[in-house]
Structure 1
Amino acid sequence: MHMRPRVALALALPLLAACARQPEPTVVAANGDYRVQVWPLPAAAGAASPDLSLAPGGRLLLSWMSRQPGRRNALQFASWSRDGGWQSQPRTIAVGQSLVANWADVPHLRATPDGALWVQWLQADPGNPSGYHAVLARSRDGGMRWEQMTRINDDAGPGEHGFAALWPIGGDRLGVAWLDGRAQGMAGHDHAGVHAGAMQLRTNAFDMDLGRGSDAVVDAATCDCCQTDVAMTDRGPLLVYRDRGEDEVRDIASARFEGGRWTSPTTVHVDGWQVSACPVNGPAVAARGNAAVVAWYSEAGGTPSVRLARSTDAGDRYAAPVVVDQGVAVTGQVDVALDGDQAWVAWLREDATGQTLMLARSAPDLSKPLQRIEVARPAGRGHATGSPRLVADGGSAWLVWTDVADGVAHLQGAQLVR
């Protein structure tokens, strides 16, 4: 289902690259620990809601929303490589006040092996002020032009649609999972037995012409506004999300696409966290082969905590979780990455002195902690700093996050090196 864009799909509106120089070399730590190094980002003041992903060949893709006084919202991106640093200036994908800027539900940019770039964002529906839609666009030329655009959800109702996760299918197709609110205004059950009144987790696949397949309902009742995430295992994409039981227990669940269908959801761990409102604090997942690590926030037992659980069989079963951090200062907003040497997890803390962005690394099997790092002390408070994004590859890790200075949002970056 294609739609007429209500935003300007830009050819390339270059902005000044604020800090495109390479960071200074860092002295190698004698004990083998990692050190934090400033990673200058090219986003100008007013940038927020970042996303960071790894493209084929080791290139990093950074996207963000730009909001500046007197200007329309703009979705922008830039790419970075070890050899060349930031590639040219930031490029603008879409412009318009109908672009929804949301600290929790950020746009996502991904690359497929054929070289195409895919981007997903939220777009307001002028006819339904209470609803918005998830939009998908594709570029065939590395992001110079974004001439293909469609709506991910195929309903035209007033519900909310977002919190998407994207993954490649083969060389030139894309899978998308999202939270879909089309049933929230219904009563009883629909003809397919879907729970009315609940947020659903749906998925679909899109080909190189943005042709869609048939929606699959992975879970008919999920938490309303927690982020979803996906990682590729050797047995297929592993999707994680915050579930919602009839008793309002909102533990983390996963499902894997294998053999042409989604497996029945598996609870990562029975935390038993019962909460009557959405915590807006979703899980993250990373995988290598059939080993997967899931990170999440919980307040089970009344104590905020960040937890990690590992699966060796692509999400069929999970070992008992490891508590990375706990206490009243823990606010979550986690991300996780996995390489051959360690599992990485990033999260936020906040107390009377302010916020702290934390990073820890553990043995790949989570058998022992390796290092705990205070990456930064953002000046922002609460949701103003959003959620940090984390990527690891080739013995390094990269982090991006939103900070606030004098009431203006801007992006910060760090690289973890030995």
Structure 2
Amino acid sequence: MYLKNRNAEMFRKIAPVLVMLLVPTAFVHAQAPSLENPSGSGAMAPGLTALPGGSAAILSWIEKDGEDHVLKLSRFEGDSFAEAGEIARGRDWFANWADTPAVHARADGAWIAHWLEKSAESTYAYDVRVTFSTDEGKSWSPARTPHADGTPTEHGFVSYFPADRQRTGMVWLDGRETGAARDGHDHEGFMTLRTAMIEADGTIGPDRLIDDSVCDCCQTAGGTTALGPVVAYRNRTSEEIRDIAVVRRTADGWTEPRLVHADGWKIGGCPVNGPSLLADGMQVVVAWFTMAGDEPKVRFAVSNDAGATFGPPVTRSPGTALGRVQLAWINDGFALSWMEEDQDGAARLRIAHYSLQGELLDDLALGQLDGGRVSGFPRIATVDNRLLVAWTASEQDKGTRVMTALVDLDRPEN
């Protein structure tokens, strides 16, 4: 685990792990053959997005081209990836292992993509940049910024939720209050959670505040239920309790934050380990990492009332979890992926398949990954009821490469 302390503005390594490649383990209940993709040497920060209809997905990643960072994408369909395309490039990007670009696919066929761009010399001064495509990524609009504060502070950890077929909501962590002292006070403000609407033509409406005190650098997650949007994120109290909260948008606006579960994790810095969320009809699933009680663990909880309340959490990998959770709908249930340490202290990727009632259907380990920041945040997406997996791996020259695999869940053991 890594801890980001706002006062020191740095990450601290908590749990070192060995560097190893993907290999079979005794936990594997499904084959996970390596799958070639068009990313090049030095690629990092993979993203996966399932396309409407469930028969294809988009893989996105960052590569270097000379002094430029380049955001690329490739469509996966059938059993292979298409030739890589380019979304955007620039020399002043903030490219890192945790706050990564992504592509969102709208129901009407439009695609939205974002990345982070430096706004000043300070390490943590960067803006969100958003672009829009109506021809499946062949061309992209000029980039826009969803926040108009103009402060040289952090803006990132973006997630999306469908508003309707032609509009998309986005949420992000916004650091406009964390810079120089505000309103005559001599202390820093807190990271905030804000939202804006991307309209049908790709223009972005004004940003609005959702929560004025959230964890500084944990991923956000969004979705839409039968009753409206729901967003999960790591909250932050004045006592430095940083548990996972959800907010819902109703006819009266955004609700007050409500904890998915009161873990009671008190921590004086950001663990860089946010939640994942699925929403469909009245069901919401939220997964997260916590070290409450000084025991690392991954948890998930299910709501049957559109995120208003959640059932008791299910705990995975107590004592060995590293977190970095991801969720995906699959086979009348959902898949949960996370990273943990094995008995030798190496990192590996775990995937579990659950029914909508929370019954465990399959439980597998895909093998060992690079430890620390190198593997980034593994991603999963469902394509034709198979699970597409992407992560970052190290190369012999100390560079990185994006790796992909395809998993069939619930196959009989050999």
TM-score, reference length from structure 2: 0.86
What is the deviation of 1:40? 2.3
What is the deviation of 1:215? 2.0
**Corresponding position of 2:13:** none
- 380, 383, 386: which is aligned to 1:396? 386
Report the CA distance shift for 1:263/1:394 in structure 2 as closer, same or farther (over 3 A).
farther
Report the CA distance shift for 1:377/1:399 in structure 2 as closer, same or farther (over 3 A).
same
- 406, 409, 412: which is aligned to 1:415? 406
- 12, 28, 33: which is aligned to 1:37? 33
Q: What CA distance in whole angstroms lies between the structure 2 residues aligned with 1:322 and 1:189?
A: 44
Counterparts of 1:365-380 in structure 2 under 5 Å? 365-366=357-358, 368-378=359-369, 380=370
- 1:175–1:204 Cα contact (<8 Å) kept: yes
- 37, 42, 45: which is aligned to 1:46? 42
Q: For 1:303-349, what per-residue CA distance to the aligned partner results, in whole angstroms no more than 9, with x for missing partners?
A: 0000011100111000110002111x321111112335332111112
SS in 2 for 1:178: strand
Q: What CA distance in whole angstroms lies between the structure 2 residues aligned with 1:34 and 1:127?
A: 47
Please state if 1:80 is matched with 2:76: yes
- 313, 317, 320: which is aligned to 2:312? 320
- 1:139–1:148 Cα contact (<8 Å) kept: no
Report the CA distance shift for 1:160/1:54 in structure 2 as closer, same or farther (over 3 A).
same
| Letter of the 1:370 counterpart | L
**Corresponding position of 2:300:** 308
- 99, 102, 105: which is aligned to 2:99? 105
Report the CA distance shift for 1:57/1:395 in structure 2 as closer, same or farther (over 3 A).
closer
- 1:343–1:361 Cα contact (<8 Å) kept: yes
Please state if 1:60 is matched with 2:57: yes
Unmatched 5+ stretches in structure 2: 1-28
SS in 1 for 2:68: coil
SS in 2 for 1:281: coil
Report the CA distance shift for 1:392/1:175 in structure 2 as closer, same or farther (over 3 A).
same
Q: For 1:80-139, what per-residue CA distance to the aligned partner results, in whole angstroms no more than 9, with x for missing partners?
A: 122x7323x101111122122111000010121232211011001146654100010011
Q: What CA distance in whole angstroms lies between the structure 1 residues aligned with 2:208 and 2:146?
A: 13
**Corresponding position of 2:22:** none
Report the CA distance shift for 1:151/1:188 in structure 2 as closer, same or farther (over 3 A).
closer
Please state if 1:254 is matched with 2:250: no
Please state if 1:205 is matched with 2:201: no
- 2:146–2:207 Cα contact (<8 Å) kept: no
SS in 2 for 1:224: coil
Counterparts of 1:86-125 in structure 2 under 5 Å? 86-87=81-82, 89-125=83-119
**Corresponding position of 1:24:** none
TM-score, reference length from structure 1: 0.85
Q: What CA distance in whole angstroms lies between the structure 2 residues aligned with 1:147 and 1:64?
A: 19
What is the deviation of 1:301? 0.7
SS in 2 for 1:122: strand
Q: What CA distance in whole angstroms lies between the structure 2 residues aligned with 1:132 and 1:187?
A: 19
**Corresponding position of 2:16:** none
Please state if 1:355 is matched with 2:347: yes
Q: What CA distance in whole angstroms lies between the structure 2 residues aligned with 1:376 and 1:40?
A: 17
Q: Identify which range, 149-158 or 208-217, moves more after superposition.
A: 208-217
Q: For 1:51-95, what per-residue CA distance to the aligned partner results, in whole angstroms no more than 9, with x for missing partners?
A: 101112322011111136x4421110011122x7323x1011111
Report the CA distance shift for 1:261/1:189 in structure 2 as closer, same or farther (over 3 A).
farther
Q: For 1:155-174, what per-residue CA distance to the aligned partner results, in whole angstroms no more than 9, with x for missing partners?
A: 11111100000233322222
What is the deviation of 1:182? 0.2
Counterparts of 1:280-319 in structure 2 under 5 Å? 280-319=272-311
What is the deviation of 1:255? 1.0
What is the deviation of 1:217? 1.1
Q: What CA distance in whole angstroms lies between the structure 2 residues aligned with 1:304 and 1:387?
A: 17
Report the CA distance shift for 1:398/1:186 in structure 2 as closer, same or farther (over 3 A).
same
SS in 2 for 1:301: helix
| Letter of the 2:259 counterpart | T
- 1:46–1:410 Cα contact (<8 Å) kept: yes
Percent of residue pairs bearing the same amino acid type: 34
SS in 2 for 1:382: coil
- 1:54–1:61 Cα contact (<8 Å) kept: yes
Q: What CA distance in whole angstroms lies between the structure 2 residues aligned with 1:208 and 1:301?
A: 46
Please state if 1:384 is matched with 2:374: yes
| Letter of the 1:388 counterpart | P
Q: What CA distance in whole angstroms lies between the structure 2 residues aligned with 1:116 and 1:53?
A: 13
Q: What CA distance in whole angstroms lies between the structure 1 residues aligned with 2:252 and 2:393?
A: 42
Q: Identify which range, 252-261 or 346-355, moves more after superposition.
A: 346-355
- 167, 172, 175: which is aligned to 1:181? 175
Unmatched 5+ stretches in structure 1: 1-32
**Corresponding position of 1:167:** 161
What is the deviation of 1:235? 1.6
Q: What CA distance in whole angstroms lies between the structure 2 residues aligned with 1:293 and 1:300?
A: 20
What is the deviation of 1:242? 0.3
**Corresponding position of 1:23:** none
